Amino acid sequence: MKRNGKSVFFIVAILLVAFTVVTFMGISTQWGDTKTVYIKGADDIRWGIDIRGGVDVTFAPPADTEGITNEQMDAAEAIIKQRLISQNITDSDVYTDYNKHKVIVRFPWPADETDFDAQAAIASLGETAQLTFREGKEVDSSTGLPTGTTESNIILTGSDVVSAKAGYQQTDSNKTPEYVVSLELTSEGATKFSEATGRLAGTGSISIWMDDTMISAPTVNTQITDGKAIISGSFTAESATELANKINGGALPFKLETTSYSTISPTLGTQARDAMVVAGIIAFALVCVFMIALYRLPGAVACIALMGQIALSVAAVSGFFAPFPSFTLTLPGIAGIILGIGMGVDANILTATRIREELDNGKSLDGAITTGYKRGFTAVFDGNITVILIAVVLMGAFGPPDSIFATILKPIFFMFGSATEGTIYSFGYTLIVGIIGNFIMGVTASRVMLRSLSKFKCFRNPKLYGGAK
């Protein structure tokens, strides 16, 4: 048991070093002009407009389209926002000009863009959105795509929908109005919908998909025969409007065309970004020297843990974790990573100081380590949980409308506009990832490694932990 305890340090340290190397380098193979990426690295990060620049594009219906309504323009905007969100592009701006029937979009270059071809970047958004109503809500957990019956059984398409409107109705149970989305179908769509709802009434659900993203999955309560359906649930006025816009977007009588586009110069630039990276490396080295000089062995362990925390932050934005695509990293996002690292340094300093105090009070080495982490964790937890709450509020108030934080908090913070949502959301995201990494690396991993090292006879001297001889 004692021998196994000693090996823990080497296992954890090797895993952290390997994770860091793979996170920054990635794993890929090159065969001729074809590159196959197995694990994404730092090069796969999608940098924000402020760092790498991007594209400014205007979408509009064909010139000969008549009778365009504001509701249809809202639906067109919803299409583009859905496409951006599905690609995890948060540093974007989408505006609608109702007078000229145009949608103006600003978004950053893709991570793998080398030719900076604006037309190729625009093509990633697509020209039209495909709306489908499918039986059930079976989703592949790894890809998010429909599977099983949901994949094979399409009940309705966008051409079967006449319109979708957000509204509210009186409920029979408590007489309190609730927000709903009402659907009106074509005669052919009403026939197909009647058959499906009759078959699934009381036992199943019909999911609604925009392209390959499920946007809703209401349960079928009764058979609907007249082509007029009501989608109810825990809607707010805003979420009901968003769902209606998305459904209308898939049923638009026109397709969106690119009328103009231009490239956007970065306000910061990749050279400044590279300089920030070099400065970060130097700062990390200086912090390590300070930690080791002042706190000795706990400081050395803290440096290994901080390295793992930095790697975890990079992995969370590069697309290292397969279910999550590359995240758009902006300048405020980098600030969030730095602040998270600062919280990690603070956590290790608190713990190392507690261990030294316990040794000075006459406790044994093992008792000082155990008590030091236990007492230090209280202060670390309080400080970190407060920052997490702030990050959640930022992500909810300024995040994309379909994100989990925005869904929960948007009704509370509805007064915030969307002009800064990309940059603020990026800051909140990297900050919360950094704090989570602090709990994993700065609290858990460092404790495991230090306890393992303390089992070696050569590391039993209290002076190595900052205590008296």
How far, in whole angstroms, is CA 462 from its chain's centroid?
44
CA distance 105 to 92: 7
pLDDT tens column, 17-45: 999 999 988 887 777 666 677 788 887 78
pLDDT tens column, 69-78: 888 888 788 7
Percent of the residues in the chain that have a pLDDT greater than 70, as a whole number: 83
Check: CB of residue 122 under 8 Å from CB of residue 107: no
CA distance 135 to 153: 6
Q: How confident is the model at residue 2 (pLDDT cuts 50, 70, 90)?
A: very low
Looking at residue 408, its pLDDT comes to 56
Domain 2-42+268-465 has CATH 1.20.1440.230: no
Secondary structure (H, E, C), 338-355: HHHHHHHHHHHHHHHHHH
Q: Is the pLDDT of residue 165 over 70?
A: yes
CA distance 399 to 409: 10
Looking at residue 399, its pLDDT comes to 62
For the chain, what is the mean pLDDT? Answer: 81
Q: Assign domain 54-128 one CATH number from 3.30.70, 1.10.600, 1.20.120, 3.30.450.
A: 3.30.70
Q: Which two tokens stand for residue 342?
A: 């600062």
- Average pLDDT estimate for 144-157: 89
- Average pLDDT estimate for 410-431: 63
Q: Which of 59, 67, 129 is nearest to 96 (CA)?
A: 59
pLDDT tens column, 48-87: 887 878 888 888 888 888 888 888 888 788 778 777 776 6
- Average pLDDT estimate for 316-321: 80
Q: Which of 284, 292, 245, 295 is nearest to 103 (CA)?
A: 245
Looking at residue 422, its pLDDT comes to 60
Looking at residue 3, its pLDDT comes to 44
Predicted TM-score (pTM) of the model is 0.64
Looking at residue 257, its pLDDT comes to 81
163: left (phi over 0), alpha (psi -120 to 50) or beta: beta
Q: Which two tokens stand for residue 407?
A: 């869904």
Q: Assign domain 131-250 one CATH number from 3.40.50.980, 3.30.1360.200, 1.10.10.1800, 2.30.30.90.
A: 3.30.1360.200
pLDDT tens column, 182-213: 888 989 999 999 999 999 988 889 998 877 78
Q: Which two tokens stand for residue 124?
A: 């990633």
pLDDT tens column, 357-401: 888 888 888 888 888 888 888 888 888 888 888 888 777 666 655
Q: Which two tokens stand for residue 239?
A: 């979420």
State the pairing for strand pair 46-47/328-329.
parallel
Neighbouring CB atoms inside 10 A of 281's CB total 10
Q: How confident is the model at residue 301 (pLDDT cuts 50, 70, 90)?
A: very high
Q: Is the pLDDT of residue 181 over 70?
A: yes
How far, in whole angstroms, is CA 434 from its chain's centroid?
13
Backbone angles phi, psi at 220, to 5 degrees: -85, 115
Q: Is 35 helix (H, G, I), strand (E, B) or coil?
A: strand
Neighbouring CB atoms inside 10 A of 182's CB total 17
Check: CB of residue 211 under 8 Å from CB of residue 249: no
CA distance 465 to 355: 7
**HSE-up of residue 458 (Cα within 13 Å, Cβ side):** 1
pLDDT tens column, 233-264: 777 777 787 788 777 766 666 777 888 888 87
Q: Buried (b) or exposed (e) across 3-20, using 16+ Cβ within 10 A?
A: eeeeeebeebbeebeebb
CA distance 439 to 445: 9
Domain ranges of the chain: 2-42+268-465, 54-128, 131-250
